[in-house]
Every structure is written in structure tokens, then in C-alpha cells.
């Protein structure tokens, strides 16, 4: 595991506004496959164009619905790992903290993080394809996908597929926090998917830190790289930075 530089610890201790952007690598150690790992990633086994686009859903809604049902079951069995819990701790110690995630698994919230900005939606929510009604339950029928109880349209997961817009207000808030922060962390993301990958580039004024087990296109643009597992590095970073400090923002248990 990389050694954590003392200079990074000192900067984090005095940072006033910290933004963290997370990706699939943060949930990898909860047993949720990432997208782009060469052997084990979802896109190594499945073609995104056949599963994660509106066109794919229109062409074969049953296939897409069943793939997400399988993914939802994986997520339901997963538990937050030490990386998720370390970010809950970070929120307690930093005066203004923003957590932006590309993950759709809800594990940050399950760990106890508050006000998480979900750029790509949440696999546990369902909406209708035609009119975007959010649907909490539907009558059990043979139909796959089931139909929207409001308009009869087909139901789909409330996630953001390629070619769809990121929720406007969420991205606007993420952008504003990024423009103002003094430290920006990019953790467990390949930095290949836009517009999320723009955020660290927008954080020009900030000390930028990448935590990732591999090199990414962002690596050459950051001030500090911590190479290794987020579930090991993040708790170590929190411990080194604040072990002897009282939290500023205790979150009620
Ligand atoms: C660890 C680790 C451990 C592993 N510890 N690290 C500008 C330029 C080029 C293209 C575009 C552009 N603007 C828009 C586009 C098109 C497109 C895009 O970005 N394409 C690129 C792929 C080229 N973007 C879009 O379409 C977006 N919409 C949009 O821009 O709207 C405007 C528009 C409208 C109409 C037409 C055109 C534009 C929407 C993007 C939606 C992405 N959706 C997905 C699926 C979500 C639902 C689902 O879950 O199925 O989101 S794709 C997938 O990728 C998912 C992820 O959130 C996202 C990012 O992946 P992530 O998290 O980075 O995972 P990996 O697997 O890639 O990386 C994991 C990393 O972790 C690796 O680096 C590992 O090394 C590391 N790691 N274990 C630490 N233990």
C-alpha cells in the first residue's frame, strides 16, 4: 500500500471545503463488480450498448429489466465497507463536506453519509420509461417489465443511462461545490464517464487527490495519488489526519 504523505494529511486537517467524488471502486470491496475491470467488470461480460441505453431498453425491455433485477439483488446483499464508513467519518471532521457519487447502490447512505449527491440515480428506485413517474410498488403480474400504475408505461430502474442527462439540479449543486472547494478527492473511478469526469478538472483551485488501485486519465492532473484499495487507504488517511481530534460535525448515530 502507498505511504500517505504527511503534506496531504496537513492539508486535509486545515481544509474548509472538501468534495469527494466516488465511483464503483469504492463498492468493489462490498462485492459489487465495477464496470471496466478487464476480467471481472460488468462491461467485460455484458455490452453496455445492449443494456445501459434507452435504445437498448426500447429494443429489449425484458432483457434490460432482468439484468437490473440481478444487479438489484447483488446490491441488496451488499454491506458498506471501510471506505464507505471512512467517508462518514470525514464528513464529521470537515466543516463543509460534499459527497458526490456515481454509484447507484445506496451504500454511502447505508453507511450513514448524509446529503449524498447521486449523479447516476439509484438502482433501488423505479420509474416509468414513458413519463418518469416514480413508482414505489406495482401489482404483481406476469408482465416483464411490469407496467406503471399511473400511465401503463413500462417500468425501468431510476438510473442514468448513456445518452441521458444527469439530473440537472444534482449536477448544478455538484458543480458549485466543486468550484468552491479547497480539496477534491476522486476515489475509485476510472474518470472515463462524462460529465462526472469533468468535476476534478473544474476543481482547478483545489488540492486534488486520487485514490485508485490503477492509473486513470486523471492521474497526471492531481497533486497526490494514493495507489491501492480505497477500503484500506481511506481509513488510514482518516486515522492519520484526525486520530487525536474531536469531530466538528458529529452525525447523530
Ligand atoms: C478501485 C478499487 C478499489 C477498483 N479501491 N479503486 C464528453 C466526452 C466524451 C463522451 C461524452 C462526453 N459527454 C457525454 C458523453 C457520453 C457519455 C460518456 O461519458 N461516454 C464515455 C464512456 C466516453 N456520457 C453520457 O452519456 C452521460 N450523459 C450525458 O452526458 O448527457 C448529455 C448527453 C445527452 C445526450 C447525448 C449525449 C450527451 C450519462 C452517463 C451515464 C453513465 N451511466 C453508467 C450506468 C449507470 C446505471 C448502472 O449502474 O447500470 O454509470 S455507465 C457506468 O460508468 C456507471 C458508472 O457510474 C460510470 C462510471 O464508472 P466508474 O464508477 O468510474 O467505474 P469503472 O468500473 O469505470 O472504474 C472503477 C475504478 O475503480 C477503476 O479505475 C479501478 O481501478 C478502481 N478500483 N477497485 C480503489 N478497491
The string of pLDDT tens digits covering residues 202-237 is 999 999 999 999 999 999 999 999 999 999 999 999
Backbone phi, then psi, for 143, in 5-degree steps?
Answer: -70, 135
With a 6 Å cutoff on the Cβ, whether 89 touches ligand 1 is: no
Alpha carbons 75 and 54: distance in angstroms, whole number: 22
List the grid coordinates of 207.
488540492
The highest-level CATH class for domain 33-77+123-159 is alpha beta
Longest dimension (CA), the chain: 60
User: What are the strands of the beta sheet with 17-22, ordered from one edge?
Assistant: 117-118, 96-101, 17-22, 183-187, 207-212, 224-227
**Cα-to-centroid distance, 102 and ligand 1 (Å):** 8
- Which atom of ligand 1 is closest in space to residue 214's alpha carbon? 75
Q: Find out whether the beta carbon of 229 lies less than 6 Å from any atom of ligand 1.
A: yes
Provide the residue ranges of all domains of the chain, joining segments of one domain with +.
Answer: 6-32+80-120+166-242, 33-77+123-159
Ligand 1, residues 20, 22, 26, 34: which to mutate, most atoms within 8 A of Cβ? Answer: 34
Q: Can you tell me the distance from the alpha carbon of 124 to that of 166, in angstroms, rounded to the nearest whole number?
A: 17
Q: Name the pairing type of β-strands 134-135 and 121-128.
A: antiparallel
CA–CA gap between residue 175 and residue 182 (Å, rounded): 13
| Percent of the chain whose pLDDT exceeds 70 | 98
Preceding peptide of 195 cis, ω within 30° = yes
Quick check: do 6-32+80-120+166-242 and 33-77+123-159 share a fold? no
Angle at which helices 82-93 and 230-242 cross, to 10°: 30
Active site residue 120: yes
Nearest-atom number in ligand 1 for the CA of 36 is 66
User: How does DSSP classify residue 90?
Assistant: H
36 touches ligand 1 (CB under 6 Å): yes
Q: What is the pTM of this model?
A: 0.96
Picking from 34-38, 100-104, 120-124, which range would have the lowest pLDDT averaged per residue?
A: 34-38
Tens of pLDDT, residues 73-114: 999 999 999 999 999 999 999 999 999 999 999 999 999 999
Which helix H or strand E contains 211, and what residues bound it? strand 207-212
CATH number of 6-32+80-120+166-242: 3.40.50.1220
Q: pLDDT at position 253, please?
A: 61
Q: Are 136 and 114 in contact (CB under 8 A)?
A: no
Q: Is the minimum distance from the CB of 195 to ligand 1 under 6 angstroms?
A: yes
For residue 178, the SS3 value is helix
Assigned C-alpha cell, 203: 476543481
Amino acid at each position: 500500500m502507498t505511504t500517505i504523505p504527511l503534506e496531504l494529511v496537513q492539508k486535509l486537517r486545515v481544509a474548509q471545503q472538501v468534495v469527494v467524488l466516488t465511483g464503483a471502486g469504492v463498492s468493489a470491496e462490498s462485492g459489487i463488480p465495477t464496470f471496466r475491470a478487464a476480467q471481472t467488470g460488468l462491461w467485460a461480460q455484458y455490452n453496455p450498448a445492449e443494456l445501459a441505453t434507452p435504445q437498448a431498453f426500447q429494443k429489449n425491455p425484458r432483457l434490460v429489466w432482468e439484468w437490473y433485477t440481478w444487479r438489484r439483488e447483488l446490491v441488496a446483499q451488499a454491506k458498506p465497507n471501510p471506505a464507505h464508513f471512512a467517508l462518514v467519518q470525514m464528513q464529521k471532521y470537515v466543516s463543509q463536506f460534499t459527497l458526490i457519487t456515481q454509484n447507484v447502490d445506496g451504500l454511502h447512505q447505508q453507511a450513514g453519509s448524509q446529503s449524498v449527491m447521486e449523479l447516476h440515480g439509484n438502482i433501488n428506485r423505479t420509474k416509468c420509461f414513458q413519463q418518469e413517474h416514480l413508482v414505489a410498488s406495482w401489482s404483481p403480474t406476469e408482465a416483464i417489465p411490469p407496467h406503471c400504475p399511473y400511465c401503463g408505461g413500462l417500468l425501468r430502474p431510476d438510473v442514468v443511462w448513456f445518452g441521458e442527462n444527469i439530473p440537472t439540479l444534482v449536477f448544478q449543486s455538484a458543480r458549485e461545490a466543486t468550484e468552491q472547494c479547497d480539496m477534491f478527492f476522486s476515489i475509485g473511478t476510472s474518470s472515463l464517464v462524462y460529465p462526472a469526469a469533468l468535476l476534478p478538472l473544474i476543481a482547478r483551485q483545489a488540492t486534488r487527490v486520487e485514490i485508485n488501485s490503477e492509473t486513470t486519465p486523471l492521474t497526471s492532473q492531481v497533486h497526490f495519488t494514493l495507489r491501492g484499495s480505497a477500503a484500506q487507504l481511506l481509513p488510514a488517511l482518516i486515522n492519520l489526519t484526525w486520530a487525536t481530534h474531536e469531530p466538528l460535525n458529529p452525525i447523530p448515530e
